[in-house]
């Protein structure tokens, strides 16, 4: 053994919290999805084929040649003032009135989730979330040693009565609940949206119980019929921290998202963000600014939504044709995902390898729960593959299922 290796063995002692980070089931299947001829129903990748690449290349060229000394320099920890203002215009589409000073730009909303959890949660504090919920958020919460308690949903989203019951039993057990994490629009992974009639009730429950709400809304603008639901933030701006992202409506590769929070929280977010990244990428922010202010991005979103709606329909049709009797699924009206419940007794974890062997990959339902659940469920992302591939993927899945018994 070399001296260096023996030193590392004796000195590299992980902190307790390192135990909380597990491989993300979605990232794990990412490599598999890259294999040739593999049909991926796994990742929530936006379809980028409709992006005006030449225009974006011109924008990037102008940025570097005309404003390179700014674009390639460190910038403000809060984000560029221009992007903070543009983000407010984007949020206004969903009825949010925001002051640019309350916007913290992040490297994707995933970073926002981590900053919020760091600022609010001590180890053992409870975060309420929908069951099922976004696997990346669950990973962050667990990594920072929060306890996740998931509240059942139905076709209309989070169930207010179940939320009340969960809060009551946690309080009776002496737990500290820090916030409710919710994805009210085109939920990842459920594909469902919180009914308009439930929104005020959920906001009222949280306020009455002294619990903040973290509203994660990367899919809100991806509505198939172009209608938007009022954000929870509009109902209680002081108690709802809102997360947005350009990942699903423009580009995940640029890593630009944001948090809208009350002034005091926004300042703390900046301090925590600076400790991690010093400042968000100025070049990425400026490219997003050029795209949003110099291109009809809303038309691009409308076009992309037409593609997603057709792919969603192709997926639902294929499910009807190839899934076993007794299977149910959600009927999304936007976003990237549908959530499938197979008859009891079929394990989607056991299905994964046979499915991969037959050339299709998906994420099993258990990934979307912090505690054992979702065994006979799985998520299908219809955002990325063509209608033909979605249909073929679900056919392969049905065939793999038939070999399980
Ligand atoms: C619900 C939800 N929140 C946050 C994220 C992270 O997005 P970003 O690329 O902005 O970090 C995702 C990505 O899939 C998501 O589905």
pLDDT digits (tens, 9 = 90+) for 347-379: 999 999 999 999 999 999 999 999 999 999 999
Tokens encoding 355: 């499915």
Residue 7 reports pLDDT greater than 60 = no
Q: Please, are residues 196 and 160 in contact by the beta-carbon 8 Å criterion?
A: no
Q: How far apart are CA 55 and CA 219, in angstroms?
A: 24
Task: Assess whether pLDDT exceeds 90 at residue 11.
Answer: no
Residue 322 to residues 300, 319, 342, 365, 385, Cα–Cα distance (Å): 33, 5, 12, 19, 18
Taking the model in full, what pTM does it have? 0.95
Residue nearest to atom 16 of ligand 1 (CA): 188
Rounded distance from Cα 221 to ligand 1 centre (Å): 14
DSSP state of 359: T
CA proximity to 92, closest of 298, 306, 285, 299: 298
Which atom of ligand 1 is closest in space to residue 44's alpha carbon? 14
Q: Is the CB of 244 under 6 A from ligand 1?
A: no
Q: Answer whether 183 contacts ligand 1 (Cβ < 6 A).
A: yes
pLDDT tens readout for residues 201-256: 999 999 999 999 999 999 999 999 999 998 999 999 999 999 999 999 999 999 99
Separation CA 207–CA 167 (nearest Å):
12
The CA distance from 209 to 202, in Å, is: 11
Report CA(217)–ligand 1 centroid distance (Å): 8
| Strand residues in 139-225 grouped as ranges (E) | 147-154, 157-158, 177-182, 212-216
Q: Is the CB of 184 under 6 A from ligand 1?
A: no
**Distance in Å, CA 11 to ligand 1 centroid:** 35
User: Does the CB atom of residue 257 touch ligand 1 within 6 A?
Assistant: yes
For all residues of the chain together, what is the average pLDDT?
95
Q: Is 106 in the pocket of ligand 1 (CB under 6 A)?
A: no
Which residue's structure tokens are 């899934």? 323
For 320-347, write each residue's pLDDT tens digit: 999 999 999 999 999 999 999 999 999 9
| Strand-pair partners of 363 | 379
Q: What is the pLDDT of residue 9?
A: 61
Instruction: Please check whether residue 146 is in contact with residue 123, taking contact to mean a CB–CB distance below 8 angstroms.
Output: yes
Count CB neighbours of 26 within 10 A. 21
| Model confidence pLDDT, tens digit, residues 110-166 | 999 999 999 999 999 999 999 999 999 999 999 999 999 999 999 999 999 999 999
Alpha-carbon gap, residue 126 to 83, rounded angstroms: 33
Q: Which DSSP state fits 259?
A: E
């Amino acid at each position: 053994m070399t001296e260096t290796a023996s030193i590392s063995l004796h000195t590299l002692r992980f902190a307790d919290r390192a135990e909380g980070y597990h491989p993300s089931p979605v990232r794990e299947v990412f490599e598999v999805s890259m294999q040739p001829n593999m049909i991926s129903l796994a990742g929530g990748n936006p379809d980028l084929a409709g992006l005006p690449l030449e225009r974006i290349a011109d924008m990037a060229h102008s940025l570097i040649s005309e404003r390179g000394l700014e674009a390639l320099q460190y910038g403000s920890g809060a984000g560029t003032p221009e992007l903070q203002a543009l983000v407010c215009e984007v949020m206004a589409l969903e009825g949010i009135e925001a002051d640019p000073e309350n916007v913290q730009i992040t490297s994707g909303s995933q970073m926002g989730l981590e900053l919020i959890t760091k600022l609010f949660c001590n180890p053992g504090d409870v975060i309420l979330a929908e069951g099922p919920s976004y696997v990346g958020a669950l990973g962050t919460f667990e990594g920072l040693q929060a306890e996740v308690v998931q509240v059942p949903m139905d076709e209309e989203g989070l169930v207010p009565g179940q939320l009340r019951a969960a809060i009551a039993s946690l309080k009776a057990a002496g737990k500290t609940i820090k916030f409710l994490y919710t994805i009210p629009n085109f939920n990842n992974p459920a594909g469902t949206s919180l009914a308009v009639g439930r929104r005020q009730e959920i906001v009222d429950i949280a306020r009455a119980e002294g619990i903040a709400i973290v509203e994660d809304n990367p899919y809100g603008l991806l509505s198939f019929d172009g209608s938007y639901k009022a954000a929870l933030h509009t109902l209680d701006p002081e108690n709802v921290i809102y997360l947005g992202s350009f990942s699903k409506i423009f580009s995940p590769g640029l890593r630009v998202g944001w948090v809208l929070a009350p002034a005091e929280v926004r300042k703390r977010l900046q301090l925590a963000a600076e400790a991690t990244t010093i400042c968000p990428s100025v070049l990425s922010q400026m490219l997003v600014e050029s795209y949003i202010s110099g291109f009809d991005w809303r038309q691009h979103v409308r076009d992309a939504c037409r593609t997603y709606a057709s792919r969603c329909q192709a997926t639902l049709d294929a499910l009807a044709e190839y899934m076993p009797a007794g299977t149910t699924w959600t009927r999304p009206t936007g976003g990237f995902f549908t959530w499938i419940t197979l008859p009891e007794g079929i394990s989607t974890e056991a299905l994964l390898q046979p499915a991969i062997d037959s050339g299709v990959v998906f994420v099993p339902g258990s990934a979307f729960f912090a505690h054992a659940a979702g065994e006979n469920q799985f998520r299908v992302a219809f955002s990325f593959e063509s209608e033909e591939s979605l249909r073929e993927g679900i056919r392969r899945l049905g065939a793999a299922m038939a070999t399980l018994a």
